[in-house]
Amino acid sequence: MGEQAGDKSGDKASSDTPAGENAHRDKNLQPDLILATITRLGKRIKERFPESSLAVLCEELRAVSEEAKQRSLQIQRPIIALRALSLFLVLLISAGVVGTMISFKNADASLSLTDFIQLLEAAINDVVLIGAGIFFLITLETRIKRNRALQAIHELRSFAHIIDMHQLTKDITRLEETPSSPLRRMSAAELIRYLDYCSEMLSLVGKVAALYIQHFSDGVAIAAVTEIENLTTGLSRKIWQKITLIESHIQRHGPGLATSPDTARA
């Protein structure tokens, strides 16, 4: 009976929500959900590492995510004024070409073969230039949006490298220490958690980058986002290799402080 009641309640819930709306949500990234995930991650980092600069970095990622939401919506919206101006210029050029052809057709002067060849060459050059001008006007909006997207994606690429810098010295498997070695006060379990947070942030950077191409299918922008995803995946893979080494270290030596008892910000 309980299972049947559960099935009925599930059927009712699914019937209350339009199928098209559920399909739309499943096929698209939700900026608000990404923002909520980053916010929750920042709280988790603050609760476990209250003095860590990683928490500050996660807060900056949250601000970047909010800005990405607005930028992606701006890229998605058409630039009406630019489209109207481009259409007006294209019609103006087309009217000029048609007017020239009509005036040439009504001309009574007979042309010699040499004059005809020169006129044909000039006409071909004009057609190429006019076609290039029309192509420039038609693709102007796409290029403006592409530049905006690439600028934002470049910021995310730098963000990924900054996250990688935070985990660079988080390691307890080194056998020797020197006076210039980084100070460490986290236990092995804390290091694993810290590195896991870095991996989550890298994954979220890739999701924020994907927002820019969700409704903007430009080849150059898509290639840039793919590069970001490859970068974050590679950095995350490197982090998980380090986590595996730390877990092996725990199995051999047990959990404990990394090396130095001195306090240092993570």
Using alpha carbons only, what angle is made at residue 265 by residues 263 and 266, rounded to the nearest 5 degrees?
Answer: 120
130 or 68: which leads in pLDDT:
68
Average pLDDT in the chain: 77
204 with 37: CB under 8 angstroms?
A: yes
What's the pLDDT at 2? 43
Residue-wise over 78-92: b if at least 16 C-beta within 10 A, else e?
A: eeeeeeeebeeeeee
Decide: 212 and 75 in contact? Cβ < 8 Å.
Answer: yes
| pLDDT tens by residue, 209-250 | 999 988 888 889 999 999 999 999 999 999 999 888 888 877
Q: Which long-range contacts (CB under 8 A, 24 or more apart) does 27-33 make?
A: 28/214, 29/207, 29/210, 29/211, 29/214, 31/65, 31/68, 31/69, 31/72, 31/211, 32/69
Distant-in-sequence, close-in-space partners of 64: CB < 8 Å, separation ≥ 6: 155, 156, 159, 208
Q: What is the pLDDT of residue 180?
A: 62
pLDDT of residue 58: 93
Residue boundaries of the structural domains of the chain: 30-171+184-253
The answer to whether the pTM exceeds 0.75 is no
Residue 20 has pLDDT above 70, yes or no: no
